Amino acid sequence: MSNDPYLELIKQQWPSIADAYNQFAEQQPVMLIDVQNAEIHAYPFEEFVMVLDAPSRRQVEAQYRRAVANRQMVLFVRDVENKIFQSYTLALED
């Protein structure tokens, strides 16, 4: 079992994450949870990857393509305090 502290946060916030995603589902947004501001954001993929450095961009592009092909979403957790910027691929509910 993973002791990833953000999995519990994602589980708690899932209804809000799903609502935000579903508002923009046709655009297949990249989701972001901002831990410090307790905010959930949906970004167009093209806009989101532009703020990343080149190696990260390639990695996220591959992750995103796999996610979209498998009916999944890409979710990032940004925790500025702990200097964490971590991605997850999560199944979309029907």
**Residue among 10, 5, 21, 12 at smallest CA distance from 73:** 21
Please report, rounded to a whole number, the percentage of residues in the chain having pLDDT higher than 90: 93
The segments of the chain whose pLDDT lies below 50 read none
Q: What is the pLDDT of residues 43-69, one digit of tens each?
A: 999 999 999 999 999 999 999 999 999
What's the pLDDT score for residue 2? 65
What's the pLDDT score for residue 42? 97
End-to-end CA distance of the chain: 26
What's the pLDDT score for residue 94? 63
Q: What are the residues facing 42 on neighbouring strands?
A: 31
Domain count, the chain: 1
Contact call for residues 75 and 88 (beta carbons, < 8 A):
yes
Contact call for residues 76 and 31 (beta carbons, < 8 A):
yes
Compute the mean pLDDT over every residue in the chain, rounded to the nearest whole number: 93
- Domain holding 62, by residue range, is 5-91
3-state class (DSSP) for residue 29: coil
